[in-house]
């Protein structure tokens, strides 16, 4: 490639040309990291003579993968088509489809999504006689996911529980869950990575093949990798050591999903001969916006030093306004959206939690402002789409019991719970799938309408399989045919019409039923475009693609509508004007983060991400009072606002009393005498990094699974300005008693002090150490 010096800045050029050995590219927000990655791929092929099939580029979203693939093709005139550009999950699916038989699965395995997983767990709760009031299905699955992402097998998980009865019960669920998935020849999303690592560890020849295949590896968004992804990359790269990771530790915001910041912070320890390139020149935002972002993130200690700068010297001043109420905040923001002169598509309202969208939605509707919520209900999670896909999954994989149970009586065929239970017992006894067991329906006592319906159901599925096989659309077929006698479109139309699904919807006569039929039309359109564009036209490939699609991929930038979205959802996006709302302590950062240094730094990184989404204008706001859990709470402006120098940010307070105290903060909170982390609100699955990878995250997931942590946000009543905290009327524990706390676990009471407003209790917890807290909020329970 020629004239790279004219296209790339000095640091970008250095990142492109350092092709051999480990390289860490610290790419600040808006610094052109995608350009570096694509030019690096092109440089390897054109200037270094590397064959395209020896290059692996891993991204985190399908959208990013498609963009990178497109840019590489443009640079090389389609000469880079053989480069593997994919997400972690897509890469693993490709490898497993070819090699998974080495670890005992069939290549036609199903991929279970969250709803499929919950269906399995509900069945296991019944079989294991687990009370769903004591253990939550979703939270048990979160604990299992935490274990998998930490690389902990069901067997090892069981061993680690010791005398912990709750942990043992969850371990039982984990073991049974893994057995059920194996019996169904199915994997969940975490398994896609875990089983690939297992495959590489079990079969060195397969690992060697892929190490030889992928001689140059590039990983985007490396700060978001979890432990199993770290292990996967390390296994693939350890032979040739040509590993280039690109990321920004200041934008690591997915700790709750298991992302491990240490992966990027310790890159030079993992690869001692690594070189580091910093991309600090920003091409997106104005100087006032970048100066504000730099001021906030500089308060974090766990980061690599860097400072964004831009050649854009001019720019509108950043502003912050505190309103009297959350309603006034929403109204003011939407008025500015209307009056500022920008197209709606060029503006975005960003908030910390999904629940904050309601007031802004209401104002949009009242003011007739078109809007879209990115991060709402995923198209592929809608009931009718799940039903159609379940039919397709069962056609592709006859052993998929979850798909079978979902649609055996959808639409209603007269196959009741009793008949289904007979099938389950037969399947369990004979070691069959439910679909196979249905062939023995008459022998196991199913008769009448149910028997007739089961036979018709089996014949229908077999007919679809035959048609797909003849058209080359099943994996076992000899060859695919785009112009074959059958197609994925015809399959979906047949499922919709021949199964009676559409007729049942039309019979309802409701507007919602018509919307559901329109959604089925949309999945048909998806199938048509897939069959026209896909490299491999197979039913399994189609199911893989729709399984891996994310909400973010569906954001419609062409429509002139205002975007409402969470800060997490906004990562990777940019808008000319951004409204960062709800900037109040207790909301952003959340109360449970305030006294947890690592969690507070994560919240600060999230704030940094929000700020750097803005290209030209950044408007921030908060509300002095907000209704939470049915009560109005008074809140202080976010400490992140207080970290922004007045010289950088214009701050305005729109209410009538005591403005000075708003900036100083309540003395109790400011002095740290109140342990806000002791309040039982706003829990998340992932916690602080433990001594070993995944340790504390697993413990938090275990606590949540067993009902220890409530879900949902909340603000302690302590924050009501001027109100009196009522003393705990009667403490049922004394000094020396053993007590239990929802967050810190078990401990012994060391001291009780009778304060003016409440008792202050000092407890030495077994695992969390010594804590001092107010009795009214600690809600300690004596262990008898």
Selected catalytic residue, list 17, 18, 19, 34: 34
Tell whether the model's pLDDT for residue 698 goes beyond 70: no
Assign 708 a pLDDT band (cuts: 50, 70, 90).
Answer: very low
Segment among 147-156, 239-248, 468-477, 510-519 with least mean pLDDT = 510-519
Hey, do 4-97+194-279 and 287-377+557-678 end up sharing a CATH topology, with the first three levels equal?
A: yes
Assign 151 a pLDDT band (cuts: 50, 70, 90).
Answer: confident
Assign 717 a pLDDT band (cuts: 50, 70, 90).
Answer: very low
In the CATH hierarchy, which top-level class contains the domain 4-97+194-279? alpha beta
Segment among 222-226, 518-522, 525-529, 755-759 with least mean pLDDT = 755-759
Tell whether the model's pLDDT for residue 675 goes beyond 60: no
Assign 558 a pLDDT band (cuts: 50, 70, 90).
Answer: low
Q: List, for residues 422-459, the tens digit of each pLDDT value.
A: 999 999 999 999 999 999 999 999 999 999 999 999 99
Q: What is the DSSP letter of 612?
A: T
Let me know if 221 is a catalytic residue: yes
Tell whether the model's pLDDT for residue 532 goes beyond 90: no
Q: What is the DSSP letter of 398?
A: T
CB 559 within 8 A of CB 345: yes
Q: How far apart are CA 121 and CA 173, in angstroms?
A: 8
Assign 551 a pLDDT band (cuts: 50, 70, 90).
Answer: very low
In the CATH hierarchy, which top-level class contains the domain 287-377+557-678? alpha beta
Q: Which helix (H) or strand (E) holds 255?
A: none
Contacts of 340 (CB under 8 A, 6+ apart): 347, 577
Let me know if 220 is a catalytic residue: yes
DSSP readout, 545-574? HHHH--GGGG--SSS--EEEEEHHHHTT--
Beta pairing, strands 347-351 & 562-566: parallel
Q: How far apart are CA 745 and CA 726, in angstroms?
A: 24
CB 780 within 8 A of CB 761: yes
Q: How far apart are CA 572 and CA 30, in angstroms?
A: 9
Selected catalytic residue, list 613, 662, 743, 771: 613
CB 60 within 8 A of CB 257: no
pLDDT of residue 279: 97
Average of per-residue pLDDT across 71-78: 84
Domains of the chain, residue spans? 4-97+194-279, 287-377+557-678, 380-549, 724-782
CATH code linked to domain 724-782: 2.40.10.170
Q: List, for residues 5-28, the tens digit of each pLDDT value.
A: 889 999 999 999 999 999 999 999
- Three-state DSSP class for residue 600: helix
Average of per-residue pLDDT across 209-225: 96
Tokens coding 650:
């214009």
Assign 2 a pLDDT band (cuts: 50, 70, 90).
Answer: low
Reported as half-sphere exposure (CB side, CA atoms, 13 A), residue 755 has a value of: 20
Q: What is the DSSP letter of 647?
A: T
- What is the pLDDT of the chain when averaged over all its residues? 84
Architecture of domain 380-549: Orthogonal Bundle (1.10)
Q: How far apart are CA 777 and CA 123, in angstroms?
A: 37
Q: How far apart are CA 630 and CA 760, in angstroms?
A: 27
Q: List, for residues 315-370, the tens digit of each pLDDT value.
A: 999 999 999 989 899 999 999 999 999 999 999 999 998 778 888 988 888 888 99
DSSP readout, 352-394? SSGGGHHHHHHHHHHTT--EEEETSS-GGGSHHHHHHHHHHHH
Assign 657 a pLDDT band (cuts: 50, 70, 90).
Answer: very low
Selected catalytic residue, list 113, 221, 224, 329: 221
Tokens coding 761:
């209790």
Assign 718 a pLDDT band (cuts: 50, 70, 90).
Answer: very low
Q: How far apart are CA 683 and CA 689, in angstroms?
A: 16
CA distances from 531 to 63, 289, 339 (A): 19, 45, 45
Selected catalytic residue, list 11, 33, 303, 617: 33
**Which of 380-384, 517-521, 607-611 is modeled with the greatest confidence?**
607-611
Angle (CA) 115 118 121, round 5°: 155
Selected catalytic residue, list 113, 220, 544, 551: 220
pLDDT of residue 534: 75
pLDDT of residue 53: 94
- Three-state DSSP class for residue 523: helix
Instruction: Characterise 74 by phi-psi region: left (phi > 0), alpha (psi -120 to 50), beta (else).
Output: alpha
Tokens coding 137:
């299905």
Q: List, for residues 562-612, the tens digit of each pLDDT value.
A: 999 999 999 989 999 999 999 999 899 988 788 889 999 999 999 999 999
Q: List, for residues 79-121, the tens digit of each pLDDT value.
A: 778 899 999 999 999 999 999 999 999 999 999 998 899 999 9
Let me know if 536 is a catalytic residue: no
Residue predicted with more confidence, 669 or 428: 428
Let me know if 291 is a catalytic residue: no
Please give the share of the chain, as a percent, with pLDDT higher than 90. Answer: 54
């Amino acid at each position: 490639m020629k004239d790279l010096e004219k296209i790339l800045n000095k640091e970008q050029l250095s990142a492109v040309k350092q092709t051999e050995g480990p390289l860490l590219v610290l790419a600040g927000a808006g610094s052109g990291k995608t350009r570096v990655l694509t030019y690096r791929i092109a440089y390897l092929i054109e200037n270094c003579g590397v064959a395209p099939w020896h290059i692996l580029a891993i991204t985190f979203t399908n959208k990013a993968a498609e963009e990178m693939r497109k840019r590489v093709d443009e640079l090389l005139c389609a000469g880079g088509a053989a480069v593997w550009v994919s997400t972690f999950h897509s890469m693993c699916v490709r490898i497993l489809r070819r090699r998974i038989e080495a670890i005992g699965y069939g290549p036609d395995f199903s991929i279970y999504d969250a709803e499929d997983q919950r269906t399995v767990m509900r069945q296991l709760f019944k079989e294991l006689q687990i009370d769903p009031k004591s253990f939550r299905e979703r939270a048990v699955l979160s604990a299992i996911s935490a274990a998998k992402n930490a690389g902990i097998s069901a067997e090892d998980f069981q061993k680690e529980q010791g005398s912990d009865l709750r942990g043992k019960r969850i371990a039982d669920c984990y073991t049974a869950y893994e057995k059920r998935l194996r019996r169904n020849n199915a994997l969940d999303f975490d398994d896609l990575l875990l089983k690939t690592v297992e495959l590489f560890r079990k079969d060195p020849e397969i690992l060697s093949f892929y190490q030889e295949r992928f001689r140059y590896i590039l990983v985007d968004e490396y700060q978001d990798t979890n432990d199993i992804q770290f292990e996967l990359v390390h296994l693939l790269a350890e032979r040739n050591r040509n590993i280039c990771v690109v990321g920004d530790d200041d934008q690591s915001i997915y700790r709750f999903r298991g992302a491990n910041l240490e992966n990027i912070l310790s890159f030079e320890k993992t690869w001692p001969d690594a070189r580091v390139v910093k991309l600090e020149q920003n091409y997106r935002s104005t100087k006032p916006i970048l100066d504000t972002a730099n001021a906030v993130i500089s308060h974090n200690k766990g980061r690599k030093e860097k400072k964004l700068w831009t050649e854009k010297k001019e720019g509108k001043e950043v502003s912050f306004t505190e309103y009297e109420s959350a309603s006034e905040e929403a109204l003011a923001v939407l008025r500015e959206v209307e009056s500022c002169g920008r197209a709606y598509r060029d503006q975005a309202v960003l908030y910390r939690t999904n629940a904050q969208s309601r007031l802004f939605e209401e104002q949009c509707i009242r003011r007739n402002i078109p809007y879209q919520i990115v991060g709402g209900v995923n198209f592929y999670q809608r009931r009718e789409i799940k039903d159609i896909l379940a039919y397709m999954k069962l056609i592709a994989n006859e052993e998929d019991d979850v798909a079978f149970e979902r649609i055996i009586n959808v639409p209603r065929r007269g196959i009741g719970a009793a008949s289904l239970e007979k099938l389950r017992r037969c399947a369990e006894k004979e070691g069959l799938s439910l679909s196979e067991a249905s062939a023995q329906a008459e022998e196991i006592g199913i008769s009448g309408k149910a028997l007739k319906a089961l036979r018709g159901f089996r014949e229908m599925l077999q007919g679809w399989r035959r048609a797909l096989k003849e058209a080359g659309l099943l994996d076992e077929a000899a060859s695919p045919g785009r112009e074959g006698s059958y197609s994925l479109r015809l399959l979906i139309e047949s499922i919709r019409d021949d199964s009676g699904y559409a007729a049942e919807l039309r019979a309802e006569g409701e507007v919602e039923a018509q919307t559901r039929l329109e959604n089925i039309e949309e999945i048909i359109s998806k199938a048509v475009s897939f069959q026209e564009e896909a490299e491999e036209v197979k039913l399994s490939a189609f199911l893989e693609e729709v399984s891996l699609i994310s909400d973010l991929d569906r954001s419609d930038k062409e429509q002139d509508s205002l975007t409402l979205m969470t800060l997490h959802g906004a990562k990777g996006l940019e808008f000319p004007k951004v409204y960062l709302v709800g900037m109040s302590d207790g909301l952003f950062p959340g109360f449970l983060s305030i006294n947890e240094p690592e969690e507070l730094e994560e919240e600060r990184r999230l704030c940094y991400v929000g700020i750097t989404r803005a290209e030209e204008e950044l408007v921030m706001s908060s509300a002095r009072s907000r209704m939470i859990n049915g009560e109005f709470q008074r809140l202080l402006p976010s400490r992140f606002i207080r970290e922004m120098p007045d010289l950088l940010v214009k701050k305005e307070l729109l209410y009538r009393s005591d403005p000075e105290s708003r900036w100083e903060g309540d003395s109790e909170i400011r002095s740290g005498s109140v342990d806000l982390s002791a309040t039982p609100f706003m829990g998340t699955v992932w916690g602080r990094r433990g001594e070993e990878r995944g340790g504390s995250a697993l413990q938090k997931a275990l606590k949540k699974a067993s009902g220890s942590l409530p879900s949902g946000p909340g603000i302690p009543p302590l924050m009501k300005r001027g109100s009196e905290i009522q003393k705990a009327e009667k403490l049922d524990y004394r000094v020396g008693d053993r007590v239990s706390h929802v967050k810190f676990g078990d401990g012994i009471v060391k001291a009780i002090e009778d304060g003016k407003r409440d008792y202050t209790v000092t407890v030495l917890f077994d695992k969390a150490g010594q804590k001092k807290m107010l009795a009214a909020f600690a809600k300690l329970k004596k262990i008898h």
